[in-house]
Amino acid sequence: MPADINYWPLLGVAVVVFGFALKRNPVLVVVVAGLVSGVAAGLPVADLLTLLGRSFVENRLLLLFVLTLPVIGLLERHGLRERARRWIASFRRLRLFHILISYLGLRQLLAMFGLTHVAGHAQTVRPLIAPMSEAAAERELGPLDDDERARVRANAAATDNIGLFFGEDIFIAFSAVLLIQAFFARNDIVLEPLEIARWAIPTAIAAFVIHSIRLWLLQRRLLRARREKAQRESADAAH
């Protein structure tokens, strides 16, 4: 290992790992990790504060999604989720994995054209996709227990993430593609964005296939758990 590298800032990583493992408040853990890593690197306190403040301000874009909350809250108050549930329940043949696989494909296609903020956890998953998935699962299984409901909701959110992540990299103006291009350009390797983006296609297809299979398995597993429970109960009743 080269001797001129300061390894002490790695303490910040240790703070993160232990903080999360001990289930401390994540925001506090992260702030402490930043302070530890800064002090370990020998940064003066004033510079460390500047660094914290600057990075925080530069990343305020990440909070823009709160603008969706008033309209989503208002529509929920007026029964949006209830209505979404009933609308799905009116289609007899529609099953849980149909909804989630369609959403996965749609999310990937939209992200591929750079439309990453058209859908999202606050905009579409909570008000529409989660209640629709629950309604579809409910028609097949009857009323969901807490555990089943949590699993259906978690999978709706997971589907959104996977659709987003493995679609956006094909969009040539997406920042990941540009980041890769810029990194190589600094090191005298000149690439066109399209050359990079096309290599994201095989993984995008694999993501769609793998996740679709897992959604189908989820549906099957939920059904089987129900059937086994029913069998156990009827066996108990017979005794």
Partner 1 sequence: MLRIEHLYWVVAAFLFVTAILNLRDRRFSMATFWLLLSVPFVFGEAILDALRAGTEWPAQAIGMIVIVLGVLASMNPLRSVAEAADAEAHQQRSADRLGNRIFIPALALPTITLMLYLGRDLLVWNGVPLLDPKAQTLTSLGVACVLSLALGMAVTHARAPEPLAEGRRLLDSLGWAVLLPMVLATLGGVFITTGVGSAIASVTAAVIPIDNRVACLLAFALGMVLFTVVMGNAFAAFPVMMAGIGLPLLIMEHGANPALLGAVGMLTGYCGTLLTPMAANFNIVPAVLLELPDQYGVIRAQAGTAIALIVFNVGLMLMLVFR
Q: Which of 18, 22, 44, 80 binds partner 1 (CB under 8 A)?
A: 80
Does 151 help bind partner 1 (rule: CB under 8 A)? yes
- Please give, one letter per residue, the 3-state secondary structure of 152-218: HHHHHHHHHHHHHHHHHCCCCCCHHHHHHHHHHHHCCCCCCHHHHHHCCHHHHHHHHHHHHHHHHHH
211-230 positions binding partner 1, by CB under 8 A: 211, 214
117-136 positions binding partner 1, by CB under 8 A: 117-119, 121-128, 130
Does 25 help bind partner 1 (rule: CB under 8 A)? yes
Separation CA 188–CA 186 (nearest Å): 6
Could you tell me the smallest distance in angstroms from the CB atom of residue 142 to partner 1?
Answer: 20
101-120 positions binding partner 1, by CB under 8 A: 114-119
Separation CA 84–CA 86 (nearest Å): 6
- With CB under 8 A as the rule, give the number of residues binding partner 1: 121
Q: Which of 46, 235, 237, 238 binds partner 1 (CB under 8 A)?
A: 46
Q: Which of 101, 160, 172, 222 binds partner 1 (CB under 8 A)?
A: 160
Q: How far is CA 93 from the centre of its chain?
A: 28
Cβ within 8 Å of residue 153, ≥6 positions away: 130, 133, 134
Does 166 help bind partner 1 (rule: CB under 8 A)? yes
